[in-house]
Amino acid sequence: MGISAYFPDDYIPDANQRLYFYKRLASLEKPTDGRPASVGNGVHIAFAAGTRAQVDEFYRVALANGGTDAGAPGLRPEYDANYYGAFVRDPDGNKIEAVTFSAD
């Protein structure tokens, strides 16, 4: 699908909430629900997509193959005016995202 691992270079997280590793391709986060970190709770993998259509396709294919919805494709202007992403959980509960900053 043309999706690659991605984390924005200009993203500056709260130092108390996230630890980045592997050249910022993934993050280990303090779970927002207050529970201890575990599989699917505190891990977030994001893939960069070239277009919004690729984000839509990522979401469709993930749901068709056992993933569950964690945020339908759409704009998320609270992150960036062109931030278009979709979130799913794999069968183990891990949160996976496809995102693009493309306006098309």
Q: Looking at the predicted structure, is the pLDDT value of residue 1 above 70?
A: no
Q: What is the pLDDT of residue 68?
A: 95
**Residues 16-75: tens digit of each pLDDT:** 444 443 334 455 667 777 888 777 776 778 888 889 999 999 999 999 999 999 999 999
- List the one residue out of 47, 28, 43 whose CA is nearest residue 99: 47
Instruction: Quote the pLDDT of residue 58.
Output: 95
Rounded to 5 degrees, what are φ and ψ at 42?
120, 0
| 13 pLDDT above the threshold of 60 | no
> Is residue 23 packed enough to be buried (19+ CB in 10 Å), middle (13-18) or exposed (0-12)?
exposed
**Domain ranges, ordered by start, for the chain:** 4-100
- Structure confidence at residue 21 (pLDDT): 38
pLDDT at 2 over 90: no
* DSSP designation for 37: P
Long-range pairs, 23-28, Cβ under 8 A, ≥24: none
Domain covering 4-100: architecture:
Roll (3.10)
Q: At a CB cut-off of 8 Å and minimum separation 6, what does 57 contact?
A: 1
3-state secondary structure of 51: coil
Tokens of 37: 């970190």
- Give me the pLDDT at residue 54, please: 94
